[in-house]
Structure 1
């Protein structure tokens, strides 16, 4: 059984939907199809969630959503039934916008409209291709807690629901990104969560392969927009791909691989616009294991340095430090320590997305027991590969190549699959190009 997920650009137009339906039709083992909202729709729904949105702006956004979907429906032929379904959904969306309370629960219900709209159209496109797909509401299977906006799935319940509701001889079309809690409230898995949804389904139905169909032809050695010579990686291990996704790779949602690893499901990333390309296969053990496979770049990093003589031969200082950060829900990435100092990297963009930041009040709380400094406008570069802590002769050439750059922090040894360092934001892309040319270019 194959679970196939199609992203927003893969269903963003009638032509894109036709290509994606053609891909589904080429293999009868593609029994569970997971769809994102049409490209641009989730952004529009997020814009509609703003407080004090004036009526002119609101109507402009709604008209954009309507046009995007009706343009596809009109090309489907015999569109009256589809239009009726869509306008019913649009009416429900308008009613939801008129609701006074705009908490996270309200927003999750709002954001779900994108996937519900796209799947109601795509199921008809599949049927016209001769694929008798059954539309299913993902919220019946993907059960989560009530952390609206970034819900945590309940794997055991999802498994039981899948066993009860999914017949492996039937083709299903489901929505990515959305689920529901035990009270039936709609929840979302966070932006990019359609990949996560697909992996949860793949694990639950014990699929052989999870396909991620997107607008790029697989995982690349680095961002091709930075290094035009970057090339596609045909096979990569779960461990490498997980590190790559966490440290800035844009192809996969960072959480996607967890259910796939647990379920032993191979993952294939490929382009829906060029399905003949082999894409990238993500497996438990890759046949080739180069020391450096890829280079990733994550911008918008900050460096928090905490210094205190209390650390010297004392216990409990780190616990006190991390307790303060945890209480304020501040996410920490890399950690480096000395006898009297701790340096921490903070992902500014991730923390901002979670609506948390290193405010003056947080810094004042830290200053009660330590000296504190913060540096911003930094970038994190990660070399991703295999057995890096056992590879002789790697450090010399690497640090010789970096000798004219100021390296603010280095993290090596915690993982055999990555070596990370922090650099000035303005020099980051130049460093990536240089390292790719030196260590990866074929």
Structure 2
């Protein structure tokens, strides 16, 4: 049985300054079921902290970065009814950060420690904003160090959570919150996203965008009824509104569809976020902290409206690798040999197509600097038995929907797929992947044509009387 408890996560733009924090605090105070709040670092802080970890940073540059970070936090603190204790807490954290940043050689564990300060400080400040806005002794917001609960391995920079341990510790540390349902909205835990710790207490991070993931892990651990993700956009749209002003909001979407969107580049959700929610069947709500009453998107296990096409996702900075060898012809083991080499060098492949004598694969250059890794670690090994061609400046476009393999085919009777590609006449596609998933059709195009293609597809699929289908839930 689920507890009537909501976990709410607020992103960096939602905590950018004092006014933004007040809006989020009002949202929490007006929602009695929110008992756990997970926060990111204030907008811009993580970028500054990342710069602090660069090797051979000049003293003047380091001091300038530290002053910028302090200024962001001090501006918020100055608008609080602060005490000497609060001021000292903030000062102590900044002094510790400055000390760590002076390390001559910043190792991965020290880098994670440095990156954690954004969330440590924003959670401290947001707790004070909540308590100040509540203005009474009945309501209590408590700042909690998530590293006591969110245990991970020691892969610094991209740590893997220990699900069982997190569940065990969350039940212990959040017992008062979980059992306080009948006491009203009296006790709220404010904690950090993005960070965790090893069993030995070393700080780790879950990778960029890991705050959503952290919130989902905690929601799963305490068996919450809902996970809320509050950001700067009004939910999930039929495509990124920055690509076309005609993007339409989606009121409800399935876990499967949302997972595909996140995987293929939708910025509103971190790809890993949905895994804990799916495991525990916890609905996820995505809304804007700037306009919390204007609706958002609910992500659930099953939806009534299942359009053939739901949305379009874009992922830029892709690299296409073509591996060709006559030895493939009527041979066995070639694919295993190629992917064995890629695996040895920790290179993750996104899409793949094959012919009799060649393999084409895509790598996400924006995440792993794919081309550089490929040349450094794999080229020599692969060239020993095959020809290699590398193409960059490409974008991956994914059409997300439902039962695409059953509802349509490229030459199908209803002509939906055919009409999609007919709308893209004169477009050079470097790769098409279709059939591996019932929820997507993907193709690779030139970076400089991607936005135009998104606009044409969106117009064809979602706009006006000629739209093939609608992404709007009924």
Band of TM-score, shorter chain? over 0.9
After TM superposition, give the deviation of residue 100 of structure 1 in Å: 3.5
| Structure 1 position 377 matched with structure 2 position 381 | no
Listed as ranges, the matches of 1:179-328 within 5 Å are: 179-328=196-345
Relative to the length of structure 1, the TM-score reads 0.97
Return the offset for 1:81.
2.6
> Could you tell me how far apart the structure 1 residues matched to 2:312 and 2:260 are?
10
Alpha-carbon distance between aligned partners in 1 of 2:65 and 2:336, rounded to the nearest angstrom: 48
Q: CA deviation at 1:80?
A: 3.0
What is the TM-score normalised by the length of structure 2?
0.91
Q: 2:142 pairs with 122, 134, 140, which one? A: 134
Q: Which residue of 1 aligns with 2:34?
A: 30
How far residue 52 of structure 1 moved from its aligned partner, in angstroms, is 1.3
Supply the distance in 1 between the matched residues of 2:353 and 2:102 (Cα, whole angstroms). Answer: 50
- Pick aligned residue for 1:82 from 67, 86, 98: 86
In structure 1, which of residues 403, 415, 428 is the aligned counterpart of residue 425 of structure 2? Answer: 403
**Residue 389 of structure 1 corresponds to which residue in structure 2?**
405
Judged with a 3 Å threshold, the aligned counterparts in structure 2 of structure 1 residues 66 and 231 are, in CA distance, closer, same or farther, namely same
Specify every segment of 5 or more residues in structure 1 that has no aligned partner in the other structure, as ranges: none
Judged with a 3 Å threshold, the aligned counterparts in structure 2 of structure 1 residues 137 and 361 are, in CA distance, closer, same or farther, namely: closer
- For 1:56, the equivalent position in structure 2 comes to 60
Please say if residues 294 and 384 of structure 1, whose CA atoms lie closer than 8 Å, have aligned partners that are also in contact: yes
What is the CA distance between 1:356 and its match in structure 2? 6.1
Asked whether the equivalents of residues 329 and 356 of structure 1 are also in contact (C-alpha less than 8 Å), the reply is: no
SS of 1:114's equivalent?
helix
Contact kept in structure 2, 1:221 and 1:230, CA below 8 Å = yes
Task: Please tell me whether residue 5 in structure 1 is matched to residue 9 in structure 2.
Answer: yes
Equivalence for 2:104: 100
**Which of 72, 77, 94 is the equivalent residue of 1:73?**
77
Residue 361 of structure 1: how far off its partner (Å): 5.0
CA contact (8 A) 1:330 1:356 kept: no
Asked if the contact 1:70–1:83 (Cα under 8 Å) also holds between the matched residues in 2, the reply is no
**How many pairs were matched up?**
441
1:79 shift after superposition = 4.2
Alignment partners' CA distance in 2, 1:164 and 1:312: 59
Deviates more, 1:149-158 or 1:370-379: 370-379
The match for 2:193 is 176
Q: How far does residue 307 in structure 1 lie from its aligned partner after superposition?
A: 1.1
4+ aligned runs moved over 3 Å, structure 1: none
CA deviations 1:146-184 (Å, max 9, x no partner) are 000000001011111111111212421110000001211
Task: Name 1:43's counterpart in structure 2.
Answer: 47
State the shift of 1:375 in Å.
1.1
The structural deviation recorded for 1:355 is 10
Where do 5+ consecutive residues of structure 2 fail to align? 181-186, 409-414, 465-474
SS in structure 2 at match of 1:369: coil
Q: Deviation per CA, 1:354-376: give whole Å up to 9, x if none.
A: 99621155222111111111111
Give per-residue Cα distances to partners, 1:375-421, cap 9 Å, x unaligned.
Answer: 11111110001111111322210121123111111111111110000
Deviations 1:6-45 (CA, angstroms, capped at 9, x unpaired): 0111111000010000000011110000011111111111
C-alpha distance 355-83 of structure 1, shift in aligned 2 (>3 A): farther
Secondary structure at 1:198 match in 2? helix
Instruction: Write out per-residue CA displacement over residues 331-363 of structure 1, whole angstroms, 9 at most, x where no aligned residue.
Output: 2100001111111011111112x9962115522
